[in-house]
Amino acid sequence: MKKSKVILKDERFALTIDRLCHQLIEKYDDFKDTCLVGIQEGGVLMGNRIVTRLKEILGVDSLEYGKLDITFYRDDFRTRIKPLKASSTEMDFLLEGKRVILIDDVLFTGRSVHAAMTALQHYGRPENVELLVMVDRRFNRHLPIQSDYVGLTIDALEESYVEVEWAEIEGNDQIMLIA
């Protein structure tokens, strides 16, 4: 039987989102020539929350924000027992010469981020790409990928699973470690 432990929830969860937003504002100020891109599906939930909060803090109506599906860019999409379900990509802008903030919920092996960076190439050549994640599982990387902005770092055994729950889907905001 698997055990689960709540690592972060509610107020601290919201505080973590706010901290990440303020770190982005420190670096990007008015977000000129900058766009945010959420990786489907968990990164889009995170991206939605980040973009909404940034607009509130900055007092603006819009920021360039896209949603990127990486299903067929993954190196394991043909090896899965169960067929993968693709999500939609919503990117109505080019990345050429822009600063890109790639957003995901959990950084584990780095394979999803690698697939996302490959998929981004179809939208132009960005000036640079940075990564923002809610959770960094530090000691489980398969590829040399690291995050520039981290909500929470968790050192967990490879058998463990980190789950980010969002109020929009599960009814509350929390991060759980399932072992």
The amino acid present at 34, given as its one-letter code, is T
Kindly give the interhelix angle for 42-58 and 10-28, rounded to the nearest 10 degrees: 70
Average pLDDT along the chain? 91
* 86 token code pair: 């693709």
Contacts 24+ apart (CB under 8 A), 3-6: 3/178, 3/179, 4/163, 4/176, 4/177, 4/178, 4/179, 5/176, 5/177, 5/178, 5/179, 6/174, 6/175, 6/176
pLDDT at 132: 98
Fold classification of 29-78+85-160 is: Rossmann fold (3.40.50)
pLDDT digits (tens, 9 = 90+) for 2-28: 788 999 999 999 999 999 999 999 999
pLDDT at 160: 83
pLDDT at 156: 77
* 178 token code pair: 């399932």
Question: Do 72 and 83 form a contact (C-beta atoms < 8 A)?
Answer: no
The percent of residues above 70 in pLDDT, for the chain, comes to: 93
What mean pLDDT is predicted for residues 46-71?
96
- The structure tokens 């509130």 sit at 56
Please state the domain extents for the chain: 29-78+85-160
pLDDT digits (tens, 9 = 90+) for 24-51: 999 999 999 999 999 998 999 999 999 9
